[in-house]
Structure 1
Amino acid sequence: MFLEKIKTPGLSHLSYIIGSGGQAAVIDPRRDFEVYVERARAEGLEITHIFETHRNEDLLSGSPILADLTGATVHHGPNPAGNVAFANTTREGDCFELGQLKIEVLETPGHTDDHLAFVIHDSEYSEGPVGVFTGDALFVGDVGRTDFYPERKEEVAGLLFDSLQKLCRLGDQAIIYPAHGAGSVCGSGMADREFSTIGHERRNNPRLRISDRDEFIKAKVAEHHYQPPYFRLMERLNLEGADAAPRIMRPRRLGLDDLRESGADHLVDVREPLAYAAGHMPGAMCLPVGMIPAFAGWFLSEGDRIALIASEEDQLAQAMAHLVRIGLDNVVGGYVGVVPAAAQGKAMRSIPMIGTKEIARR
């Protein structure tokens, strides 16, 4: 069995490629999908299946694009919110074979109505479940949020409790493969660990240790999570299917004068705050590259024309990747090297810097 975790920084998204006997499946692929094709090719595997644990709210699915490229079939759970245009509906008890592996479907609603878990059976290692792709139902140290259906908050919290009990019945030996790690907005207390099992979570996960259904519901209903406006965009596009991203992954390079005349709705300066304070273009938004996944969706909207300002090429590429993954595609170009432009006498702005002693004095 081949199994590899693909991490997406910023969003703390985890996707997977699993294979055996020349076949492979990808679980919850991100929009910039090339990594899955490259890994499958390196292992001599053909991607034949794509499994979605649920309709994501925080990032765009790469499933329709990857399916078009590889001919693989996308499998998604029953979705009362609407038809998933690019996927076949799969249900509890369905099984898929990949060489010596069997992938069994469990319906695990609660986080979302369409949520599925995919159980790994490998006859070479064990008669019981070897592992389970838990999506956003069960994380390392936490469980999924249940606030996406405010008019049904007690009901969906109860559904998640039932789903977690179903996962626990797979056995303590089963390794869990969640769709997010620490730092994701899809939970509130995820542990910063790479590995866990059903048994470890059953004994140590605060929410999973609650054995009373009513107590669990009360605890989940009391939680508070933020929902950035872009979540609505993700929900819609993950039903319709997002376009491929190769063009926007390589932004057009702009000069400083081009940047001013680009017609962009937003100038987004992705450099570090100290660099921004030292010199920046008038009207530019300070949004350091590492903060884009968490905050861009609060300030930028679908269709907004965006121009980027970065200190180096790698930083520009990283900013583009972050934006592409949350559907903010309308990037007119990017400029690299604001500080040299300031030295050439271009119109700039700066922010005076003060120390902590001065802050205390004021």
Structure 2
Amino acid sequence: MNIEQIYTGCLAQGAYYITSNGEAAIIDPLREIQPYLDRLEKDGVKLKYIFETHFHADFVSGHLDLAKATGADIVFGPTAAPEFDCIVAEDEQIFEIGDVKIKVLHTPGHTMESSTFLLIDKDGKEEAIFSGDTLFLGDVGRPDLAQKAASMTQEELAGHLYDSLMTKIMPLSDDITVYPAHGAGSACGKNMMKETVDTLGNQKKVNYALNQPNKEAFIEAVTDGLLPPPAYFGANVAMNKKGYKNVDEVIKTGLTALSPKEFEAAAEGTGALILDTRNNGEFAQGFIPNSISIGINGDFAPWVGAMIGDVQQPLLLVTDDGMEEEVVIRLSRVGFDNVVGFLKGGFEAWKKEDREIDKVDRITPAEFETRFDVEKSKVFDVRKATEYEAEHVEEAFSRPLASLNDWIKDINPDEHFFMHCAGGYRSMIAASILQSRGYRNFTEIEGGMGKIAETKVPKTDYVCTSKTM
């Protein structure tokens, strides 16, 4: 028996590849399936089952294309009602893969079909659980994503989650390995550990949610501080439940190379949004007017989903040379399939034709230090609220990037403000969106709070905001 975690950092997502005696199973696969097919061929094994812990909200799974390519059966937990052929398992149903078994544990709460898969080795020993979004390391799945589908409040879903954990997970042996679907950085939880594998025994000790004194306290703890889910989540659930385009077709269309003239015509003719995926420093120095900056070297796909939201939005890409396919693939992972094409030759090709460009007013932290006046300067901090609470520039305003559409309407266009995040990635996203909507009376700070902290700009005292629930 072999278990391999295939972790994708930009999505903070874990898929799992299990082999035993010539057969294989894959749990929660990503949308691009070729790496799995290559691995199956290399190992000389046949894929028997594709297990889905639930209908994912934060990415599009590869279950449909993988099943079509291999003939494997797709397995969901009880109460699932997808619009395609699959096995909707019963609670405690057993599936055999070679010499091992996988037992379905129905664990509703995050969603009502959510299930945990218990791996039993050839000797009958319970070895591991693949806990999906039911149990994370340091946290549990948020109980607010399935409210419409389940016709329940988040408190009712949290109650189901408590029952699932207490009756199905907590009685299991401490030495069982926990393999969650997500790690730190995912929007599916709020307090995840940076580790991606742990023992159940340690989680029983350190996980705040598993250490609440009763059901009422659990519900209060897991529902406290939940931020609104990213805008694209509902669309991804629908795609995972109803079906989607073949990923190879999506990639082929997205890799349409366009000259600057063709690119401009496409932007005008399709209503496409121009997405610039270069480094934020390069973007600041020059970009196609009205472009949105979301760099590929960061939490790219989740921020595209959060800030653009509509997965049907046509997109035109500006990328670094050779990164076009990687960008299209990452977009497809979160359901953005409508990529019209990319700018052939990148931004340099646009500049060579002397076409119009725009820039962001960016300054260094040292220059910010000379210009900052605690009595007069207005500063917007676009980091998360918890980052702001830990330490911030004195008198700065907390304006989280994820809430930009809420606070943008309160901006006085006649009043200048400085803006920063932790390192420049998020503040450049905000800057590009603001400029695309006509707001230009601001200055963005290169390097963010990480570099501002090295200056003499007055800051609040650092406060640790780690959760200790």
TM-score, normalization by structure 1: 0.94
289, 297, 300: which one pairs with 1:282?
Answer: 289
Q: CA deviation at 1:13?
A: 1.1
Contact 2:276–2:317 (Cα < 8 Å) also in 1: yes
Q: CA deviation at 1:343?
A: 4.5
Computing the radius of gyration over CA atoms, which structure comes out larger, 1 or 2? 2
Contact 1:86–1:241 (Cα < 8 Å) also in 2: no
Calculate percent identity across the aligned residue pairs: 32
Q: CA deviation at 1:355?
A: 2.2
Superposed, which structure 2 residues align to 1:1-362 within 5 Å? Answer: 1-79=1-79, 82-124=81-123, 127-150=124-147, 151-165=152-166, 166-250=168-252, 251-262=255-266, 263-264=269-270, 265-289=272-296, 290-297=298-305, 298-314=307-323, 316-335=324-343, 336-339=345-348, 341-360=350-369, 361-362=371-372
Q: CA deviation at 1:68?
A: 0.8
Whole-Å Cα distance in 2 between the matches of residues 259 and 180 of structure 1? Answer: 37
Contact 1:61–1:241 (Cα < 8 Å) also in 2: no
Contact 1:230–1:301 (Cα < 8 Å) also in 2: yes
Q: CA deviation at 1:211?
A: 3.8
The superposition leaves residues 164-213 of structure 1 with CA deviations (integer Å, 9 ceiling, x where unpaired) of 22212121011011111111111111111132011010011121122422
Whole-Å Cα distance in 2 between the matches of residues 32 and 259 of structure 1? Answer: 27
Letter in 1 for 2:325: A
Which ranges in structure 2 are unaligned for 5 or more consecutive residues? 373-469
Contact 1:77–1:114 (Cα < 8 Å) also in 2: yes
Whole-Å Cα distance in 2 between the matches of residues 242 and 354 of structure 1? Answer: 44
Q: CA deviation at 1:12?
A: 1.0
Q: Which residue of 1 aligns with 2:404?
A: none
Stretch deviating more after TM superposition (28-37 or 216-225): 216-225
Stretch deviating more after TM superposition (44-53 or 339-348): 339-348
**Cα gap change, 1:198 to 1:211, in 2 (>3 Å):** farther
Letter in 1 for 2:129: V
Letter in 1 for 2:70: T
Whole-Å Cα distance in 2 between the matches of residues 305 and 348 of structure 1? Answer: 21
Letter in 1 for 2:362: M
Higher relative contact order (CA 8 A, sep 6+): 1
**Cα gap change, 1:341 to 1:152, in 2 (>3 Å):** closer
Contact 2:142–2:188 (Cα < 8 Å) also in 1: yes
Whole-Å Cα distance in 2 between the matches of residues 119 and 258 of structure 1? Answer: 53
Q: CA deviation at 1:286?
A: 1.2
Contact 1:120–1:129 (Cα < 8 Å) also in 2: yes
Stretch deviating more after TM superposition (273-282 or 244-253): 244-253
Letter in 1 for 2:136: F
> Counterpart of 1:208 in 2: which secondary structure?
helix
Q: CA RMSD in A?
A: 1.7
> Counterpart of 1:177 in 2: which secondary structure?
strand
Q: CA deviation at 1:257?
A: 1.7
Stretch deviating more after TM superposition (55-64 or 3-12): 3-12
Q: CA deviation at 1:323?
A: 0.8
Contact 1:65–1:243 (Cα < 8 Å) also in 2: no
Which ranges in structure 1 are unaligned for 5 or more consecutive residues? none
Q: CA deviation at 1:84?
A: 4.2
Contact 1:31–1:244 (Cα < 8 Å) also in 2: no
Whole-Å Cα distance in 2 between the matches of residues 84 and 202 of structure 1? Answer: 37
Whole-Å Cα distance in 2 between the matches of residues 213 and 176 of structure 1? Answer: 23
Q: CA deviation at 1:44?
A: 1.3
The superposition leaves residues 247-279 of structure 1 with CA deviations (integer Å, 9 ceiling, x where unpaired) of 332411222222111134111111111111111
How many residues in Structure 1 have an aligned counterpart in Structure 2? 358
